[in-house]
Each structure stands twice: as structure tokens, then as C-alpha cells.
Amino acid sequence: MLDGIISFLERIHIKEPKKPPRKPEPDVISSLPQPIISHIASFLPTEEAIRSTILSTSWRNVCSSLSNLEFNQAYFKKKKLDSEVFSRFVSHTLRSHDGSDVHKFTLEAYFETLPEPMLVNEWISFAVQHNVKEIYISLHTMTPVTLPCCLFTSPTITLLDLFDFRLKLPSVIHLSNLQHLQIESLYFCNEMSLINLFSNLSCPLVNSCCVVSCPPYIPDLIPKSGWNLRSFSIANTVVHPAPGNANGTLVNGILHHCALPNILSNSILSDLDDDSDAELTGSHDDRSSSMEIGSSIRPGIVHRLDKGTSGLLVVAKDEYSHAHLSEQFKQHTIHRVYISLTSGVPTTLSGRVEVPIGRDINNRIRMAAIPCPSVSRQVRHAASRYKVIEVLAGGGSALVEWILRVIIHW
């Protein structure tokens, strides 16, 4: 009987009640105030901001008035899109712009791969014509590039960042509002034209200058520029010549600045390489000999600073100052304090770290900690006192002050 009831029920067609039609969800994005939408879009890469126009009609208007324009060809290469697609995208974006001011303009392209390299000048000119304040240009080429003259006579640019190409500067340069200048891996077709760029007459308001991996004659122009710099840094530059780095060092720049001949030979460089071990081994006579070599190859350099290491470097302007400063470093009478950012927080908020250091057996140009040195190895006894200044990121990091002390054991 139960089977008959189930069979009967299965034959009955029961209509389900109709669900009311779903109401379209409100367009929350469109309801946001226009300044907020513009602020959100300013944080997006230009490629992503343009793609976001499908979200709302309001975004279409915002993307035509973006104040931060960032075009990076590497993004297109990652998506396996060729340089022609990149060029069309940049040109279309700029043509669609409503004419409002541009605050920041970034262009990173591979100049030689562009179907029409001269389009670069049109893109840069567009930014200048729209009162750009910050401009970043990277072209990744050693082919001489002539950028538009208006870039170097703009009255609105406050920050100029040029990276990785060979530049042919115009004869007329006048950036009346430029405050920050950064050049990295930049080479110039005419050294004399640099005098116009690094000049108080051409760029009277520059107060910050950063030079990274550029020819050694550039630092020589800074003292002559007349700029009242609050910040000047030379990054990623080797301090003194060594095997593999005979040119382009800070010492080469000092020799150029002092109009001294470059007397560095391969034999001297070889001796200097051997001299690096004389700090850990050898007799007093050996050290005296190495100091004479060092004085000829490191004029004015009081102490070393490894490439890629940030910090202050003391350089003496005459032999008397050099001798006295070097003696102070040797006797450890100079008070040096270092600030570091650590991963994690030290177990104790203050303490002492003591471990010998010596030359790395796998890479002789590096130093390494030697917890259990053998009798045959020469090491330095190194001790450092530290104090945690501030715990950051909920205990994920810490700002730590260090006072170092190194005593050489011969």
C-alpha cells in the first residue's frame, strides 16, 4: 500500500511557487562621490584603471582624467603582448584624456623595440603640456636618445627621475621649479652639456640629488653647481679601484675633482687586492708597505664602505687630515652608532654580541662570522652592544641601535 501511495505522489505534478524577480543590485561604486573614485583610481596602475571602466559608467569619466599616468611595457610583456599593443595603449589613453593636469607621469619602455620610438617624445610632451610635476623615464637602451626640449624647460616639474639610457641633452636647460633630481645608470653623449643640468642658473631650487651607477665625473659637478642641497647621495658606487673595478669608483671622481692624474695600474690593483689580507695577517713592515700602496690608490679615503652598504664615508682633503683621521679610526677613538631594522625582535631588549670575524673561506672578498676559528686562521675579535629603540609591526620588526667595537688580533 505504501508503494502505491509513493507511486501516486510521483505522478502528481506539483508546481513550485514562482520566485519574485531579483532586483538589480545597486551600483554602489557609481554612488560614491567623484573625488573618492578619483582617489581610488590614482592608486591603480594605468592599465588596471582603464580595465576598471567596465565596473561603472562613473569610472569611464574618472579614467579620462587620471592625474597619475603610469605606463610600463614590462606589464605587457608579462601578458605576452607585443610592443605595438603597448604603443597603441599609451597613445589611446593620452588621446582619451580630458585635458586636466597630470601630477605624475611614469614611462618605462624598451626604446629599441617600439615600432615608432619617436612616439616617446610625443608622450613626454603630452605630460609636460599638462603641467606634470613628477616625471619618471626609463628607456633601457644605449642608443643615444634626444628627449623633447620642453622636458628641460618645464616650469612645473618638481621631480625628475631618469633611468637606464644614453641621453643627449639640449643646449638650453631651465627647470625653474625642479627640487629633486635622480639619475641612475644614465650616460651622456656630451659631458660638457652636463654643466647646464648641474647648475644653479638652470635649476635654482634643487635641494635633493641622487646619483646611482653613473659615470664618475658626475659627482665632481655637484660642488660647482651652487645648489643648496639638503640631501646628496651617490649609491651603488665602488669606493676605490680594485681588480674588476678599475674605473667608475669614488676615488676616480676624487682624482678628477682634484685634477690629479690617474696613476692606477694593474700591478697596483693586484697589490691592493693582496693588501686586503694584510689587515688580518702579516708583519708591521708588510702593513706599512700596504699603507703606502693604499694611500696612492685611495687618496683621502679614511675608511672603507662596501658597495651597496648605506652610511657615511669620511674623506680627507689633505694628507695631514687623512693621517689624523686614520689614526682615530685605528685607535677606535671615534664614536660610531648604527641604526638597523631587524626581522623580528631580539630576545632581550639590550645586550652584547661577541663573535670573531674573518675572511670567508669560500669568497675571499667577503667577511664572515667565525664562531670557532682554528689556530691557523687570523680573525678579528668583534663585539657589538645593542639596544632596542622601538618595537614595530606588532613585534614583527624592531629599530635597534648598535655600538661597534673591533679589536684586531695579529
The catalytic site residues sit at 306
Give the type of residue at 112: E
Distance CA 353, CA 405 (A): 10
Distance CA 217, CA 211 (A): 11
Task: Look at strands 180-188 and 208-212 and give their pairing.
Answer: parallel
**Distances 307 to 275, 299, 375 between C-alpha atoms, Å:** 18, 18, 31
Taking Cα atoms as reference points, which of 40, 76, 37 lies closest to residue 57? 37
Neighbours of 227 (CB within 10 A): 20
Distance CA 209, CA 181 (A): 5
Distance CA 192, CA 120 (A): 25
Distance CA 382, CA 263 (A): 35
Burial 365-378 (b: 16+ CB within 10 A, else e): eebeebeebeeeeb
Coil, strand, or helix at residue 91? Answer: helix
Task: Please state the φ and ψ torsions of residue 194, each to the nearest 5 degrees.
Answer: -65, -25
In three state form, how does the secondary structure of 232-298 look?
A: EEEECCCCCCECCECCCCHHHHHHHHCCCCCCCCHHHHHHHHHHHHHCCCCCHHHHHHHHHHHHHHC
Dmax over Cα atoms in the chain, in whole Å?
A: 118
Distance CA 280, CA 278 (A): 5
Q: Is 254 exposed, middle or buried (0-12, 13-18, 19+ CB in 10 A)?
A: buried
Coil, strand, or helix at residue 275? Answer: helix
Distance CA 387, CA 119 (A): 55
